[in-house]
Amino acid sequence: MKLKVKILKFLAGRPIAVLNNSTANHINVHVGERITLSKYADSLVSIVDVSKDLIGKEEIAVSQEIIEALNIKEDDEVEVSLATKPQSTFYIKKKMDGGVLTKEEIYSIIKDIVDNALTEAETAYFVAAVYKNKMSNTETENLISAMVSVGKRLSFDGIVVDKHSIGGIAANRTTPIVVSICAAAGLTMPKTSSRAITSAAGTADVIESISKVEFNTEELKAIVKKTGACMAWNGILGLSPADDKLIQTERILALDPEAQLLASVLSKKIAVGSKHVLIDIPFGTSAKVSKEKAQELKKKFEYFGKRFGLNLRCVLTNGEQPIGNGIGPLLEIRDVIKVLKQEKDSPKDLEEKALFLAGQIIELCGKTKKEKGLELAREILKSGKASKKFYEIIEAQKGSVPTIAEIDKKLGSHKKNILAEKNFKISQIDNKKINLLASVAGSPMDKGSGLYLYYRIGDKVKKGDKILTIYSDSKTRLENALELYEKFNPLI
Amino acid sequence: MKLKVKILKFLAGRPIAVLNNSTANHINVHVGERITLSKYADSLVSIVDVSKDLIGKEEIAVSQEIIEALNIKEDDEVEVSLATKPQSTFYIKKKMDGGVLTKEEIYSIIKDIVDNALTEAETAYFVAAVYKNKMSNTETENLISAMVSVGKRLSFDGIVVDKHSIGGIAANRTTPIVVSICAAAGLTMPKTSSRAITSAAGTADVIESISKVEFNTEELKAIVKKTGACMAWNGILGLSPADDKLIQTERILALDPEAQLLASVLSKKIAVGSKHVLIDIPFGTSAKVSKEKAQELKKKFEYFGKRFGLNLRCVLTNGEQPIGNGIGPLLEIRDVIKVLKQEKDSPKDLEEKALFLAGQIIELCGKTKKEKGLELAREILKSGKASKKFYEIIEAQKGSVPTIAEIDKKLGSHKKNILAEKNFKISQIDNKKINLLASVAGSPMDKGSGLYLYYRIGDKVKKGDKILTIYSDSKTRLENALELYEKFNPLI
C-alpha cells in the first residue's frame, strides 16, 4: 500500500518506521517485525514501530536512515509491504532447537547482526541459543572467523604482544603497568580495552581519568608508532563490530556464553594483529570462574589460539580478593602511578601481579630465556623506564599524568570511613560486592568516586580500625552505598 | 547529569529517550538499557536509543510518553542517570539457568511485560528460557493466574460456552458455523479470535472481510446481549495483554512453548468468563502436533481447566489435510456461507467438522443428553436457524452478509488454474505449504486472495483436471505464488 512520508528527526542507529496501528494490522505487521519500503527502483527493509494516535492511517514516519537510503522528502509517497524474515532467523531457530550451525549459517547470522538486519529480540534469541546449547569447537572457530571477517584489521611493526584478563576481580588494574613495562622492553603493545562490563571500572574508564581513550585507527597507529604502545577504548575502533553488538545483548541478563567469550577475546586480538598473547584467568569464590572452570577455559583458549596461528599462553591467577587498594577510575590510576613511581605506600600485590604478567609476556615472545622474564620486568620497573614510558604514552594520548596530590584533590567530595566494629581476622573480601558498592558510589561515571581498601585476607583488624573508605561526588550516592554496605558486608 | 529536552514527535508505545553516543558512554548506558529521567519530584524510567550526530551532547530527545509523564517542554532541563534493571530480569536469568520460578517471580515478570518495563530483548530471553527449560505444572498455573490478573475480565449472562482450536490446519474455518449454531441453540458464545499467526488467515481476518471485528468491551457486551454471540478480534480487548505481547515475541522465531500456549488459551477463556470450553486439537503429519503430542496436550488442557474451575473438554481431530475448499479471507467466508445456507456445492468436510464441534459443546454444557448434541446441531443447521443467527451477528457487528455472486466478484483479479500433469491418486496435501502459498498470494492482507482446492486425499485425478486455483490482487504476488508452487508441490 502507498503511504505518505513523515520525517522522524531524531531516531537513528538503524532504519525505523512508525505506522498507525490500524495500518499495521492491515499489513499484518507487528512491533519489531519488518516492512519493505520502496520508491521507484530503490527499496529497503525497516523495523516497525506502531503508534496509536501520533500518526495517521495514510502516513508512515521514517528515520533518517530511510530518508537517505530512498532519497525521499516529507509528504512523498512510498510503497509499503510486509517483508520476509532474513534467512539468518531460521538458523537462529535451528540453534535454539539444538542443531549444529554450518560455517555459512554462522557467517550469515554475524553479518546480519553487524548490518542491523536482526532486531534486538532476534539477537537475544541467538545469545540464548548459544548460552543453552553451547557451540562445538568447529562452530566456535567459525564464529571467531566470522567476527574477524566483518571487522577492520590492523597491523603493526615489531614484536606485537597483547594481554587480556577475563575480568571479574575488583581493581586489578595491571594493564597500564604491564603495557608500560613491555613497551619499555622494546615490544609493540597496541592494547585496546573495554569499559566497565561487570566490574566497577574498565581499563578504558581508568585511563580516561587522565587522557583520551577514544581514537580512530589512524590516530591509534600514530600513537603506537611513536611510543610502541597505546591504552585505548576498543568500542569505536570497529575491530569486532559483531562482538560489540553481542556484548550489548549479553549484558542485558549478564549472560556470558563460553563460545562468545572466546570469540570476543580472540577476534579482537586477531584484528589488532597481535602475535604473542597472554590470557589472565583469575579464579576463586567471588571471581568469574572456579579453578576447575579456569582450567577448562585455559585449554579452549590455547586450542583456538593455535588454530588461528597465535602464540598464546594462559595463566591461572588467584582471584580470591581485589588486587590493589583503590576501586574506581582515579583511585585505581593513583595505585598505578604509585607502583610505576615506586612510592613507598604502593600496593605490593598489584605490583607483583603486574610484574608476573609482564615477565610472562617477555618470555612468551622470546625476548628473554625462560624464567628470566620476571627479572627483566622488575629491572625495567625499578629503573624508572616503565614510568617514563607511561608518561610518554599518556602524553601521546593527549593527556597528562597528575601527581598523587593532584589526584587526592579530585577524589569524591563526599567520603565516609568504615571502622571495624570488633577485633577480627579478615577471611573474605567479595569481588562482586566490592564492585557493586563502587558502582553505587558512582564509578565509573564519576571519576573520583569508589572505594579504598586498607586490608587483605588474613590481616588482623582491631575494633575501631579504618577498614574501608567510600568516596562519592554525590551525597545521595554515598548514602546509597553506605546502606548497601550495611546490607552486604563485603568484607568479613 | 543535566540534559536539555528535545521533543521526539512520533515515537510511541513506551518511553524512549535518545542520547548522543558520547553522553551515553559517559553515563555508561547502552542501546536498549535504561535511564532514569527526573524533573522536580517526578521521575520515570526510559529505554535508551543512541544517535551519533542527530542530537547534541547536552541534549536528550524524548518520546511523547516522557513529555506527558514528566510534564516537560522543549528545552527544559532534566536530570538523567543510569537506572537499575527491574528485578524481573533476575528471575528471567534464573529461569534461563534452569531454576523454578515462584508465584511472585512469575507475577513480577508478567506485570513488567504488560507495563512495558521489559525490553523486546528481555522478553525474548523469557520466551527462550521457557522454550528451552519448560515450566512445571505449578509454574504454568501461576503463569495463567498472572496473565489473567493483569487483564480485563468480562462476564455474560446465560450458559457461557467457548471453543478454541490450537490451529495449524489450512482453512478449517469452523468457528463462524459453530458460533451460529450454538447461539441459535440458546447458548451464550462470546467468541474472540486472533488474526493469522501461523496460518494464512485467522478467524478475525476472515470475519473482517464482511464486518467489523475490532470492538471495545462495551460494544462487545452489547453485541452479545443482542445476539447471544460475537466473533471479534481479541487483540484490542485487553483480555490478556501479557499474552498479546508474548505472542509478538514468539512470532519472531515461530516459537510456541507449551506453557505459554496453555496460558495463552486458558487466560483468554477465563478472562471472557467462559464456563464450558471445547478445545480442538487437530493432529497429523503437517499439523502442529502429532497424535502422541495431541494426547499429552489434551491431558494438560484438562488438568489446568479443572484447576481453574472450567468445564473443559478436548477433542482430537484429523488434521492430515485442509478442511474446506477456500484458503484466504473471502474464499473461506464463501465456504462458511455455503454451509450455513446449505448450498449444494458446500464443502461437506467443513460442515461435518463444524457440526461435530457444535454437538460436543451442546452436550458439554448439558443442553442435551449425551450423544444427542450432534443431532440438535444438525437440526439447527438444516432448519436455517444457524444461518439466520449468523446474519444477526454480522449485522450487530456493523457488517452485512454478501451473496455468493458478490463474493465471487471480489476475489483476486489475477488468477491461475493449476492442472494435473498426469493421472494420480492424491496421497498428501501439506497444511504448512498450503498456508504459505496462500500468504504469498496476499492472504490475509488482500481479502480476495488465496487458494481454492478441488480435491481431498484419496481422490483420483486425471491429467488436465483443475486441482487448484490461485487468486491474487497483484500480478507479482501471483507469479511469486506460482514459482513457490513449482518448488513446493504441496499436493502429491
**Angle between helical axes of B373-382 and B175-184 (0-180°, round to 10):** 100
- Which pLDDT does position B239 carry in this prediction? 86
The mean pLDDT of chain A is 92
User: Band of the pLDDT at A197, cuts 50, 70, 90?
Assistant: low
- Which pLDDT does position B46 carry in this prediction? 87
- Which pLDDT does position B423 carry in this prediction? 96
Top pLDDT among B405 and B235 is at: B405
Nearest to B93 among A18, A26, A254 (CB): A254
pLDDT digits (tens, 9 = 90+) for A449-459: 999 999 999 99
Respond yes or no: is residue A256 known to be catalytic: yes
Mean pLDDT of B70-99: 91
**Best CA proximity match to A165, nearest among A26, A40, A54, A261:** A261
pLDDT digits (tens, 9 = 90+) for A353-385: 999 999 999 999 999 998 899 999 999 999 999
Domains contained in chain B, CATH given: 2-82 (2.40.40.20), 88-133 (no CATH), 161-404 (3.40.1030.10), 411-488 (3.90.1170.30)
Catalytic one of A256, A280, A335, A446: A256
Measured over the CA atoms of residue A106, residue A107, residue A108 and residue A112, the dihedral's sign is: positive
Which residues, listed in sequence order, are joined to residue A281 by a DSSP beta bridge?
Answer: A316
**Rg of the Cα trace of chain B?**
25
d(CA A250, CA B54): 27
Q: Cβ contacts (< 8 Å) between A64 and chain B: which residues?
A: 54
Nearest to B18 among A11, A119, A125 (CB): A11
Cα dihedral angle (B217, B223, B229, B230), rounded to 10 degrees?
A: -60
d(CA B245, CA A41): 35
d(CA B183, CA B227): 7
pLDDT digits (tens, 9 = 90+) for A55-107: 888 999 888 888 888 999 899 999 998 887 889 999 999 999 999 999 999 99
- Residue-wise burial string across B33-66, b where 16 or more C-beta atoms lie within 10 A, e elsewhere: bbbebebeeeebbbbbbbbeebbeeebbbbbbbb
Top pLDDT among B1 and A353 is at: A353
Which residues, listed in sequence order, are joined to residue A276 by a DSSP beta bridge?
Answer: A161, A311
What percent of chain B has a predicted confidence (pLDDT) above 90? 72
**Angle between helical axes of B88-96 and B120-133 (0-180°, round to 10):** 30
**Best CA proximity match to A206, nearest among A184, A177, A239, A182:** A177
Question: How would DSSP label each residue in B332-347?
Answer: HHHHHHHHHTT-TTS-
Instruction: Return the residue in B53, B93, B253 with the most chain A beta carbons within 10 A, the one to mutate for interface testing.
Output: B253
pLDDT digits (tens, 9 = 90+) for B92-131: 999 999 999 999 999 999 999 988 788 888 999 999 999 9
Backbone angles phi, psi at B6, to 5 degrees: -115, 135
Residue B22 has pLDDT above 90, yes or no: no
Top pLDDT among B48 and B9 is at: B48
Q: How many CB atoms lie within 10 A of CB B481?
A: 27
Strand (E) or helix (H) holding B3: strand B2-7
Instruction: Return the residue in A7, A10, A55 with the most chain B beta carbons within 10 A, the one to mutate for interface testing.
Output: A10
d(CA A88, CA A92): 6
The alpha carbon of residue B431 is apart from the nearest alpha carbon of chain A, in Å, by 20
Question: Between chains, do A129 and B124 touch, taking CB under 8 Å as contact?
Answer: no
pLDDT digits (tens, 9 = 90+) for B132-157: 999 999 999 999 999 999 999 999 99
Residue B14 has pLDDT above 90, yes or no: no
- Which pLDDT does position B197 carry in this prediction? 67
Range of weakest confidence among A63-72, A299-308, A468-477, B444-453: A63-72
| Closest B-chain CA to A97 | B132
* ipTM value greater than 0.95: no
Q: Cβ contacts (< 8 Å) between B25 and chain A: which residues?
A: 195, 235
Residue B11 has pLDDT above 60, yes or no: no
User: Band of the pLDDT at A229, cuts 50, 70, 90?
Assistant: very high
Catalytic residue annotation of B: 256
Q: Cβ contacts (< 8 Å) between B4 and chain A: which residues?
A: none
**Edge to edge, what strands does the sheet with B276-283 contain?**
B161-165, B276-283, B311-318
pLDDT digits (tens, 9 = 90+) for A13-56: 678 888 988 888 777 787 778 899 998 888 888 888 887 767 88
Q: How many CB atoms lie within 10 A of CB B483?
A: 11
Nearest to B251 among A18, A30, A96 (CB): A30
pTM of the model: 0.86
Mean pLDDT of B272-291: 95
Question: Between chains, do A96 and B28 touch, taking CB under 8 Å as contact?
Answer: no
